[in-house]
Amino acid sequence: MKSILKIQHTNGLWLKPWEWAAVLAVTLIVVWGVLPWWHARHLKIDLPKDFRLSYKLRDDYLLYKSVAAKVVESHPALFIGDSVVWGMYVKNDHTLPAILNSKCGGEEIGNLAVDGLHPVVMESLMREYGKDICDRVVYVYLNPLWMTSPLYDLSGDGELAINHPRLLPQFSGKPACYHASFDDRCKAVWERMIDFEALLHHVRVAFLDNKDVKNHLAKQPDKPLCKQLSLNIEPLETGHSNDSKITWEDAGIAEQDWPWVPLDESRQWRSYLNTLKLLKKRGNVVIAVVGTVNPFMQTTASLEKYHAWRAEALKRLKDDGYKTIDLPELPSEEYGDASHPLAAGYERLADFMMNNGSLHIQQP
Amino acid sequence: MQFQSWTFLFFFIPVLVLYWAVRGTRLRIPVLLVASYIFYASFNVYFLICLGVVTIVDYLVALQLSRHRSRWLVCVSLLLDLGMLCSFKYIPRVTDFDWVLPVGLSFFTFKSISYVIDVYRGKIAVERNLLSYAAYVAFFPQLVAGPIDRATTLLPQLRHNVPLRIDDVSEGFSLFVTGLFKKAVMADMLAVYVNVMYEDVTSYSGAMRLLAAYAYAWQIYFDFSGYSDMACGIARCMGFRCMLNFNNPYVSVDVRDFWRRWHISLSTWFRDYVYIPMGGSRCGKLRGWFNVIVTMLVSGAWHGATWTFVVWGGLHGLGSVVSSWFDTSGWYGKIPKIIKQIAVFHFMTLTWIFFRAESFGDAFDVIRGIVTWEEGDFFFPPVPFVLIGLVWIYELMWDSRFRWILETRAARVAAAIFVLVCVLLLGGGANSQFIYQQF
């Protein structure tokens, strides 16, 4: 047995238990703790007029955290929502917050919307990365489109490419239609726990064309890593500057017959309420902005259910004590698809908010 | 379930805790066996059938051999093990019939074959406890890609309650971290560069083909030795000592020396169960050389049913013969060691071209491009090659009289920090499969 227990070493990486403990402690404190802290402290974020988060960086949640902190410093009010608020078919100066700002005559409302941010992931985003959003007026947009069917509502099973999967509940409460591997789900949880992992993701999406550092080093020697990285971030969207004039009819979108998920069974609705509660708990004045879904592309049966559903949602929000904004339906030619307005539609929505006295900028 | 995955972490930690809890009791082997079967079933539950058949048949054959020493019984075992191995490896190659090769089939059949032959030769006492034998064959750290530890070393550790110390965990951790660095940082990074070139060989210049050939030589080393290190580290955390499988092979001074340092568990297996039974070097020089070449050809064919692997094996066979011929000449000994080391590395790099290429055409395209220094696309990523340089210098120092420098506490701690930082910064991304799992 003695000869068996003898082992040969082919390198010198043999440390005693206490040596490993010290090495691990120092390395992990520096890499996991000091590095993200230093990055957050030195990150310079420029927030130009009519800023909105870059489409490319839409799943860079660490950046979102830093931008949110910066926006909170300089804006008394914020708008949170999905691509309807972000402005899918419009230029930076034609998003709903941008038009409201121009009508108010200042940079009062910060656009913190993210493309694809359905309520389930909005709740996680606010919980994990929106901790700095305190003591402000917060408009939280509800896009009913997420509740048109059990699959989009994430309460049904099936195949669906879910937006922002890393923000979904990964284990307890995981949606049945979310089929990521165990490893990917662990990585998502790990990223939320360790800012350093989120920092690596930030580096990947912000500077390395979505390649990891290893891939970049092996494939892009003409772009040295040290020259790629930067502490100056301009989160303004630059690559999405076309004002689309194509209406939903021009795009050839067919009429839809949606089942609509009852509020009591809706997962997205539950998460939306949780988000409102969370933001309110952080000292914000929360205003629920209930959006519309293109009524012209729905069958009569679907439209009836939709109207009943929407009325019920508004009633429940009011019953829960939230201020609400019941956005009006737009003319057919102002919808780009099922829920996104075109530029004229945003103008109309902004006018509505300005004129009916529902816009609040400062906390009472 | 790859070692570098979260899934494995969530599997291994409970297994480790449970194993530590029951280590002094009769439950030790059942816990290990169940864990090994769960680990193997995670790849595909049907693979357990092959594992079970090999285990039970060889266990019964060995029991019978202990009562009645019969060559026929050994043949039955060999027929089953090699028949299963060849069927899975070669039938899809020569027929339209396709099936999935059970992961690690070669590795556990080789372990089982060595046990039966050693019992037949009287080198080892028969294992009467089926559970212990099954745990030996299915020992999860080694199940998928070795090391192919012999029954003579692993079975005694299973029979006796090996003492478990906190130092075992730290040493196991050292091995695991080293392996993780080799695989998740070095091998996976080099794979990116190598794959780019091999996907479209003719587009790239001779210089790039040469660099990719160098990169592959290191990629396969880091990939496979990384696996072995992780496997040994995992076993070590449970108190088991595995055999050394890689001993800085790129500091070898001749081809035979290389095979004493590369995949040691397989090369010694082929030596003991193929080369020596053929007569080894006992039947004269020419016959000995012939035996070496045949053994290496078999080793090549074992890697896969393509002629590129056979050529790879043949080149190694020829290289070994030439090495032993050099040994008999006086002039080879006078060449400085570093020159020999560089020459051997280049020979290995040449053979790896055949190992990596999808076809002879690709392999010759790579070689032709290098020899004629063809024009074409070129890029050189400095970081991976700087890291290779650092590792090579480290290994050359380890093999020299300056080894003491690397053994000082400052050097060990610095190396550990460097490796950990690299793993944290570069070790993420998809968990790619180990190259040798396909064999």
Say if the Cβ atoms of B416 and A15 lie within 8 Å: yes
Q: What is the mean pLDDT of chain B?
A: 90
Does A20 reside within a domain? no
Q: Is the pLDDT of residue A139 over 90?
A: yes
What's the CATH code of the domain at A172?
3.40.50.1110
User: Is the interface score ipTM higher than 0.85?
Assistant: no
Say if the Cβ atoms of B173 and A20 lie within 8 Å: yes
Overall average pLDDT of the B242-255 stretch: 90
CA dihedral B64, B267, B106, B229 (to 10 degrees): 110
Say if the Cβ atoms of B178 and A13 lie within 8 Å: yes
Lowest mean pLDDT among A187-196, A213-222, A316-325, B340-349: A213-222
Distance from CA of B184 to the nearest CA of A (A): 9
Closest CA to B247 of B236, B232, B111: B232
CA dihedral B37, B40, B43, B49 (to 10 degrees): -70
Please give the residue of chain A at the shortest CA–CA distance from B157: A1
B303 is catalytic: yes
- Please name the member of B153, B185, B379 whose beta carbon is closest to the beta carbon of A4: B153
pLDDT of residue B280: 78
pLDDT of residue A234: 67
Overall average pLDDT of the B105-114 stretch: 92
Q: Locate tokens 């090659």: which residue?
A: B385
What are the tens digits of pLDDT across the range B117-157? 999 999 999 999 999 999 999 999 999 887 999 999 899 98
Please give the residue of chain A at the shortest CA–CA distance from B212: A218
Does A24 reside within a domain? no
Does A64 reside within a domain? yes
What's the domain range around A151? 47-190+237-355
pLDDT of residue B279: 86
Say if the Cβ atoms of A8 and B416 lie within 8 Å: no
pLDDT of residue A205: 87
What are the tens digits of pLDDT across the range B193-209? 999 999 998 999 999 99
Does A149 reside within a domain? yes
Cis check for the bond before B382: say yes or no (omega within 30 of 0): no
The crossing angle, in degrees rounded to 10, of helices A17-28 and B409-426 is: 40
> Which residues contact residue A317 at a Cβ distance below 8 angstroms, ignoring those fewer than 6 apart?
A276, A288, A290, A324
Overall average pLDDT of the B254-272 stretch: 92
Q: What are phi and psi of B191, to 5 degrees?
A: -60, -35
B265 pLDDT band (50/70/90 cuts)?
very high
Among A residues 126-185, those touching chain B with beta carbons less than 8 Å apart:
182-183
The crossing angle, in degrees rounded to 10, of helices B105-121 and B71-94 is: 160
Q: Which of the residues B241, B243, B260, B265 would you substitute to probe the A interface, choosing the one with the greatest number of A C-beta atoms within 10 Å? A: B241
pLDDT exceeding 90 applies to what percent of chain B?
59
Report if pTM > 0.95.
no
What are the tens digits of pLDDT across the range A207-233? 888 888 888 888 877 777 777 777 777
Q: What are phi and psi of A232, to 5 degrees?
A: -100, 115
For residue A325, give the H/E element and its range.
Answer: strand A323-326
What are the tens digits of pLDDT across the range A256-295? 889 999 999 999 999 999 999 999 999 999 999 999 999 9
Does A195 reside within a domain? no
Q: Is the pLDDT of residue A4 over 60?
A: no
Please give the residue of chain A at the shortest CA–CA distance from B239: A5
- Please name the member of A4, A10, A32 whose beta carbon is closest to the beta carbon of B244: A10
Burial of A283 (0-12, 13-18, 19+ CB in 10 A): exposed
Could you give the CA distance from residue A241 to residue A169 in angstroms, rounded to a whole number?
Answer: 33
For B160, the 3-state DSSP assignment is: coil
Does A304 reside within a domain? yes
Q: Is the pLDDT of residue B37 over 90?
A: yes
Q: Which of the residues B1, B4, B175, B224 would you substitute to probe the A interface, choosing the one with the greatest number of A C-beta atoms within 10 Å? A: B175
Closest CA to B186 of B380, B407, B363, B390: B390
Does A361 reside within a domain? no
A129 pLDDT band (50/70/90 cuts)?
very high
pLDDT of residue A5: 43
Burial of A355 (0-12, 13-18, 19+ CB in 10 A): exposed
Closest CA to B2 of B172, B231, B171: B231
Domain count across chain A: 1
Please give the residue of chain A at the shortest CA–CA distance from B159: A1
Which of B263, B303, B316, B346 is catalytic? The answer is B303
Overall average pLDDT of the A151-158 stretch: 88
Q: Is the pLDDT of residue A354 over 60?
A: yes
Please give the residue of chain B at the shortest CA–CA distance from A187: B6
Q: Which of the residues A8, A9, A183, A220 would you substitute to probe the B interface, choosing the one with the greatest number of B C-beta atoms within 10 Å? A: A183
Could you give the CA distance from residue B406 to residue B248 in angstroms, rounded to a whole number?
Answer: 15
DSSP letter (8 states) at residue B183: I
Overall average pLDDT of the A34-47 stretch: 88
- Please name the member of B398, B412, B429 whose beta carbon is closest to the beta carbon of A14: B412
- Please name the member of B7, B156, B424 whose beta carbon is closest to the beta carbon of A182: B7
Distance from CA of A218 to the nearest CA of B (A): 5
For A281, the 3-state DSSP assignment is: helix
Q: Is the pLDDT of residue B430 over 70?
A: no
A16 touching chain B per CB within 8 A:
yes
Does A221 reside within a domain? no
B330 pLDDT band (50/70/90 cuts)?
confident
Q: Is the pLDDT of residue A1 over 50?
A: no
A14 touching chain B per CB within 8 A:
yes
Say if the Cβ atoms of B384 and A218 lie within 8 Å: yes
Biggest alpha carbon distance in chain B? Answer: 68
Residue A103 · residue A361 · CB < 8 Å: no
- From residue B403, alpha-carbon distances to A37, A213, B117, B398, B416 in Å are 39, 32, 39, 4, 16
Could you give the CA distance from residue B168 to residue B159 in angstroms, rounded to a whole number?
Answer: 19
